[in-house]
Amino acid sequence: MPRSNTIPEYRLRGSLLRCLKLTGRSRERVARALSALAEPSIAVITPEDFWMPQGLDMPEEAKLGQHEPFLTSETRESLTQWWLEVPRNANTPNWDIASTCRVSGRKGLLLIEAKAHSNELSSLGKSSPRSRNGWKNHEKVATAISEANDALNRIAPGWSLSRDSHYQLSNRFAWAWKLTSLKVPVVLVYLGFLDANEMDDQGQPFASPSAWENCIRAHAHGVVPDSVCGNMLDIAGTPFWPLIRTA
């Protein structure tokens, strides 16, 4: 499908454009780039792995509960039931880039949340729904995030994940925790694209790796313990790596 029919030209800039360019190269180059972003974890991505999006001509982002190549049908069903009370016509998080990988020989996932300027990091909570089913899902999401928050605090105290504040940050870590609790190793990368100067009408672009790291750590302060980024968390024998990287 031509990209003009899927993404308006005015949106093709910033982190979206860069994610599509990164995933639109040869499979060998994409696999090498994704493996490099997963360092220092031991996740390996090969040309035989599956990722979304796949460049400008296949820009759809991954929804882990819906797209089959990422997870088994049982795991997809468990994720959906954990997150939603009424799945029909409901939404789940989209990932800027998601890829299958192997971690110590185990099938896992590389999940990337990408930003190109400071204002892409929102401290807002989840927006209020307008329908009865929407409210049921709203409450189920709060329960799911609370479950993840309680479990993560038992491993490394200092988490404050919430539906009502820093919702995007909270749902990313909640999903990563749930996947690892289902025995799927996860590498969660917060990726800052540098020098996206065309975005200076929206927010402050990141001029250096330290500028991005300082920005994301300040945003996550009080929600995600500062000490966990760059270190492996053991979730009942399954590794979870939260990482901060730049490109």
- Could you report the per-residue pLDDT of 78-99, keeping only the tens digit for each? 999 999 999 998 989 999 999 9
Ordered DSSP codes for the chain: --GGGTS-GGG-SHHHHHHHHHHTS-HHHHHHHHHHHTTTS-EE--TTS-EE--STTS-PPB-TTT-GGGS-HHHHHHHHHHH-SS-TT-----BSEEEEEEETTEEEEEEEEEESBGGGS----PPPPSSHHHHHHHHHHHHHHHHHHHHHHHHSS-----SSSSHHHHHHHHHHHHHHHTT--EEEEEEEPBT-GGGTTTS-BB-SHHHHHHHHHHHHTTTS-GGGTTS-EEETTEEEEEEEEE-
- Could you report the per-residue pLDDT of 17-30, keeping only the tens digit for each? 999 999 999 999 99
pTM above 0.85? yes
Per residue of the chain (247 residues), give pLDDT as tens: 334 447 888 789 999 999 999 999 999 999 999 999 999 998 999 999 999 999 999 999 999 998 889 999 999 999 999 999 999 989 899 999 999 999 988 999 999 999 999 999 999 999 999 999 999 999 999 999 999 999 999 999 999 999 999 999 999 999 999 999 999 999 999 999 999 999 999 999 999 999 999 999 999 999 999 999 999 999 999 999 999 999 9
